[in-house]
Structure formats: structure tokens, C-alpha cells
Amino acid sequence: MRYFFRNLCNKFNMPTNTMKSSVPEHLKDSLTALAQTDLTAGIQRKFDNDNARVEKHSFQFRELYFDLSKTHISDPLVERYLEIAESQKIEQAREDFLSGDLINNTEQRSVLHTLLRDTENQGITMQQPVVLDQAQDARAQFTEQYKEIEQSLARRETPIKDIIHVGIGGSSLGTQLLYEALQVIGERRRIHFIGNIDAHQLVSVLDQCDVSSTLVIGVSKTFTTAETLQNLDSIANWFKSNGVDKPLDNFYGVTANPTQANQYGLASSNVVSFPVWVGGRYSVWSSVSLSAVLLLGKEKFDEFLEGAAEMDRHFYTAPLAKNVCFKAAMLDHYYANHMGVGAKAIFAYDYRFRSLVDYLQQLETESNGKDKQRDGHPVDQKTSMVVWGGVGTDVQHSVFQMLHQGTSIIPAEFILVKKPDHGLQEHHNELLANGIAQTAALLSGQTLETVKELHGDEGLSDEAMKAKVFSGDRPSMTIMLDKLSPSALGGLLAFYEHRVFFGGVLTNINSFDQMGVELGKRLAKKVRPLIDRGEANDTGFDASTEGLLKKLTEK
């Protein structure tokens, strides 16, 4: 059995007890011992032993309040992770990141998206000062192009009612989140997001639009993304079939490769560029968000950038012992590597955050879902947990049963907004009450004695009584926004970005490539012509894949 387990671990690059850890062994052993104590003693006892626990483990950052007190965080845990941070040279890694070092070592690239929200880079000396000029030029150019597009739209005979944003992954998720979070109720224009190559989505959107009042914005860093181009082609054919001779006059392209957009057929005046050093899942801060900015306005977008820049400042200047980004990453690492946790859940108690979980899922799992260390050797610890979640009270009636009484520990994060942007305060109070109550219930649980006190006169069976017992001591973190303002949204997303960065350094991986995305895309290019031609024999694929192709191509 031991031999089988070791081979299984080697195959999937899972850590084994015989592998040398990049974390010093004495700290690893100490954290394992601490985790055993935490699992036995629970979280409630930490409150009993420390009257200042909430104050000590909560952070007020401008419009954002972070409460980590309902997690397993403790002074001994923080002390151990500060030692790990020192051994991993985490502060130097942070400096390398912000100074433009090639921290994406597999692709030999700097990671510079923070410059889009702070073109002065907080005074940090850049290794290549010219990049600061590029960032400033990019923001100035986007501002100018935005004005020109607004003026062009104002001159149209028929006002634009629908904008179709075509992109996939990082070319769409951030923009969709930005739009949904900040859109004004009653706005006459609307945005439709198309990322899926599944034409059911495309046909549904086109059915809601009219060619005379529709604008199309195609977003692709290279302007060679197959799904995006095929969707754009189909939309162009829809324009033609409805009597528009030059459909591309109604298209704008957003890309880091303007030449390729021109070759596709877009006029230079209809191409909006962004720097090549902007990564896809970090591109919401760039002109990739053009469609949302056209509806929200440039002023709101600038406030969004400023809020993120403020969180950047905290990330860079706050000591690790008081750095909320580091504290959250530390807890992620502790749960995954020492408490046997494989997933974490995020619940946003605000409908405007309905795309937040999808956005954060990509941000973390694409960044830190890696099985290789920076030097190419297999990882020696767990990296990204599975990230999932949902919105508001809907999920309470589905997945919360598992959170409260399931056999796995699943740290939960609750995101609340104190002040709504509507007048139905009674709705909002009920929403907030549910969110806060869930964090309390996860912590406290419910004993059999309490069940008997509450339900003793209802004639319940012994089995029913026991079924109402909750263990409690389930960890949760709460983030509360004063209101869902552009700056608060920017700060929140920047917090999650920097948390992911610290998590990557703690596990010694490159958080900024995405090699795992490429194999399936490459094989899809091989499978597609087989389906087109109806071929299924001698394909070079495994027997199961050939069998699936036969089922698809049989008459």
C-alpha cells in the first residue's frame, strides 16, 4: 500500500512524507502540531481565551472591513508564518514584483498590471523605467480613445441600445463583474457578454438585439483567440443578413496586437490597444473594460483604479504582521497543507456580485493551480484549493447543509455590503441578517442539550434530535464593504490579487503563467477537423476518445 501511495503521489506530483519541503522542516513540524491542537480545541475556545481577539484579527481598510477572527488564526500561527516568510524571502519577492523583475520566469516576463492603476508605481524604482512611460501612455491613450468613441456614438443616427462584448476568460470575466457591480439601475443601454463558443448563448443574445442599435466589442490579447474570432464572424454574418453591408464599421477591437486586429478587417480608428505586459486575468484594469466604461463613465473607472492603488500601497508598505493580504494567504496555506482542506467557498451577499465567484475562481486556480515549483521540480506542498461559492440566500438552501454538517472542513468567506443602492431597506436588512447569522452558526454549532431545550416539547424522535446537532468550529472570514463604490470594488479585487501573489510565493510556484490551459486547446485543434470530416478511426487518441468520436460521427 505504501508503494502504491508513493507512486500515485509521484504521478500527480502530490507531496509525500519523504519529499523535502521548501518550508523549513522545524516550521513544518510545528505547524502540523499546531493544526492538530486547533482541530481538537476548535475556534470558540480561542474567543474564550482572548477578549481582544476580534480587535486583534480584524482590519479596517478605508471602505473595507476584514474580520478574520472566526478562522483558526492565532499569534503562534502568525509567528510561524512570519518565519516562513523570512525563509522564503517573501518581502524581496514583493519588491521584485513591483520593480518589474521577470517573476514570470517560465515566460521571461515582468508582471506589471499594477502600473495601470498607479502609473507612478508608489515611487518604487523600476528595473526598466521605460515601462512607467508605457503605463502612463496607455492610460492617456485609453482616455483619449474613450472620448472619441463616446463622441462617435453620440453622432449616430440611431442611439446604441445594446453592446455585445465578445471575449473569453480574462478578456471578459473582469469586465462583466465591473459592469454588474457598478451599473446604474434604469440605464437605457445594456451589455451582453459572450465568451462561450456554444452558439446557444450567441443566438439568445442576438435575438434581443437590433443591428441598427448594436455595437460589438471584441476583446482578445492576440486577436487570434479561436472562440472569440468565430463568435465575431457569426455576429458579422448576422449584421450582413440584416442588410448591413459593412458590419465591421460597428465593431471595435481591444487587443495588445493592433496589427492582427487590422488584418481581421478593423480600421485603426476602431482598434483600442493595451500593453502586451498585461496578463489576461489581470486585465480588468485596462482598456479591456471598454464596454463597461462606456456605460459607467470614465470617472467611475478612475475611482475603481484608485481604490486598487490604495490596496497596492497597503500590500507594499504594511508589515507582514499587519498585512491583510498576507494574513489571508497564510490561512489558505495553513488550511491546505496542515488541516487537510481541499476547497474554500466564497459567498457574496449582494446580487451585484453575481459574477464575483467566477472571477475569483479563475484568478486563484489559474494562478496557483500548479504542480511545478519555480525551478521546474514537482511541488512539495498543496497549492490552490478548489474555489467555489454562490450569491446570497439562494445558496443557503442548497450547499450550506454541507458547510454545517458535512464531513469536510470548508473555510467560507462572506462578502457583505453595508449600504444598498435601493430604497427597500427591509430586504437588505434581511439579507445582512442571514449573512451574519451564517457566520455565527458556523462558529457556534448546536449541542444536543440545546436541541432538547428548543424542541423538547415537539415529540421529535431521538434520531431527529441528534440530526439537529451541529459541531460548530467551522472557519469563516467576513469582508464588509461600507457600500459597493468603485473604489471599494477596486480595493477588494486588488486584495484578492495580492493574496494570490503571497500564496504563490509561500508554495514556491510561478503564479503568472497558465500552461495547463494550453494542452486541451492544442488537442481541440486536432479533434475539430476529425469531427468536421466525420473521421473516428486511427486518430492517434486513446480508445475512449476514439469511441467518443465514433459516437459523434456515426450516421
Q: Which of 230, 264, 296 is the last residue of a domain?
A: 296
Q: Report pLDDT digits (tens) over 402-433.
A: 999 999 999 999 999 999 999 999 999 999 99
Report the C-alpha gap between 47 and 140 in whole angstroms: 51
pLDDT at 76 over 90: yes
Assess if residue 107 is contained within a domain. no
Report the C-alpha gap between 349 and 286 in whole angstroms: 27
Sheet containing 343-349: order of strands: 58-61, 64-67, 476-483, 412-419, 343-349, 386-391
Tell me the percentage of the chain whose pLDDT exceeds 70: 96
Determine the pLDDT at residue 186: 82
Assess if residue 547 is contained within a domain. yes
- Same-domain pairing of 198 and 239: yes
- Same-domain pairing of 333 and 398: yes
Assess if residue 112 is contained within a domain. no
Q: Which of 245, 269, 296 is the last residue of a domain?
A: 296
pLDDT at 1 over 50: no
- Same-domain pairing of 386 and 286: no
- Same-domain pairing of 471 and 323: yes
Strand, helix or coil for residue 111:
coil
Assess if residue 153 is contained within a domain. yes
63 has catalytic annotation: no
Assess if residue 118 is contained within a domain. no
Task: Specify the pTM.
Answer: 0.94
pLDDT at 478 over 90: yes
Assess if residue 125 is contained within a domain. no
Pick the catalytic residue: 11, 20, 200, 397?
Answer: 397
Nearest by Cα to 256 from 153, 176, 356, 170? 170
366 has catalytic annotation: yes
Domain count, the chain: 3
Q: Which of 262, 296, 330 is the last residue of a domain?
A: 296
Pick the catalytic residue: 521, 526, 535, 550?
Answer: 521
Assess if residue 3 is contained within a domain. no
Q: Name the pLDDT band for 13 (thresholds 50, 70, 90).
A: very low
72 has catalytic annotation: no
- Same-domain pairing of 242 and 382: no
- Same-domain pairing of 276 and 348: no
Assess if residue 282 is contained within a domain. yes
- Same-domain pairing of 231 and 291: yes
- For the chain, give the number of residues: 555
Least confident range of 68-77, 159-168, 546-555: 546-555
Give the CATH number, domain containing residue 244. 3.40.50.10490
Determine the pLDDT at residue 554: 86
- Same-domain pairing of 225 and 271: yes
- Same-domain pairing of 276 and 322: no
- Same-domain pairing of 217 and 309: no
Determine the pLDDT at residue 2: 36
**Residue 524, domain extent:** 518-553
pLDDT at 127 over 70: yes
Q: Do 88 and 22 meet the contact criterion of CB atoms below 8 Å apart?
A: yes
- Same-domain pairing of 406 and 440: yes
Cβ density class 121-135: b for 16+ within 10 Å, e for less: beeeebeeeebbebb
Residue 238 neighbours by CB under 8 Å, 6+ apart: 206, 211
Angle CA 111–115–120, to nearest 5: 135
Least confident range of 13-17, 374-378, 392-396, 447-451: 13-17
Tell me the percentage of the chain whose pLDDT exceeds 90: 88
Pick the catalytic residue: 366, 413, 428, 498?
Answer: 366
pLDDT at 15 over 50: no
pLDDT at 451 over 50: yes
- Same-domain pairing of 149 and 279: yes
Q: Do 432 and 416 meet the contact criterion of CB atoms below 8 Å apart?
A: yes
Determine the pLDDT at residue 18: 36
The count of other CB atoms within 10 Å of the CB of residue 480 is 19
Q: Name the pLDDT band for 88 (thresholds 50, 70, 90).
A: very high
